[in-house]
């Protein structure tokens, strides 16, 4: 019998595979001379963050301003890039400083 590895879920929030268009830009720092903007699509969405499929505009630790586009309204949030898979055109972000109303909006988007 082959021995398999046990996978333990380490995420704190439930994730759903909802697809929303996302416009995002790299927040300028003292080391950047140009503003980088791109568009992508959400892959895994939670109240803690999202996996984005789109152009890679930063590296882990960089901050982006993301606009998640819904049919009835848009949701704007600042997030930190946590990981990048350039070969797959994907990166993951953790949302920063969500207000209670923002969390409620995200939960509605996940339904």
Residue 12 — pLDDT band, cuts 50, 70, 90?
low
Tell me the range of 7-11, 49-53, 106-110 where mean pLDDT is highest.
Answer: 49-53
Instruction: Quote the distance between the C-alpha of residue 9 and its chain's center.
Output: 19
Domains and CATH numbers, the chain: 21-104 (2.40.10.220)
Question: Kind and range of the H or E element at 47?
Answer: none
CB under 8 Å to 45, separation ≥6 — which residues? Answer: 15, 16, 17, 18, 20, 106, 109, 110
pLDDT band at 57 (very low <50, low <70, confident <90, very high): very high
High-pLDDT (> 90) share of the chain, %: 46
- Residue 20 CA from chain centroid, whole number: 11
> Which is more confidently placed, 35 or 24?
24
Return the minimum-mean-pLDDT range out of 39-48, 62-71, 97-106: 97-106
Between CA 72 and CA 54 the distance in angstroms is 23
Res 101: pLDDT: 80
Q: Give the integer Cα–Cα distance in Å for 56 and 37.
A: 10
């Amino acid at each position: 019998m082959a021995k398999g590895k046990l996978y333990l879920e380490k995420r704190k929030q439930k994730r759903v595979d909802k697809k929303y268009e996302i416009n995002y830009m790299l927040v300028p720092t003292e080391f950047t001379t140009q503003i980088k903007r791109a568009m992508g699509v959400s892959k895994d969405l939670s109240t803690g963050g999202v996996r984005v499929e789109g152009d890679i505009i930063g590296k882990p630790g960089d901050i982006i301003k993301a606009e998640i586009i819904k049919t009835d309204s848009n949701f704007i949030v600042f997030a930190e890039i946590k990981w990048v898979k350039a070969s797959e055109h994907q990166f993951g972000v953790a949302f920063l400083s969500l207000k209670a109303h923002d969390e409620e909006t995200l939960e509605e988007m996940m339904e």
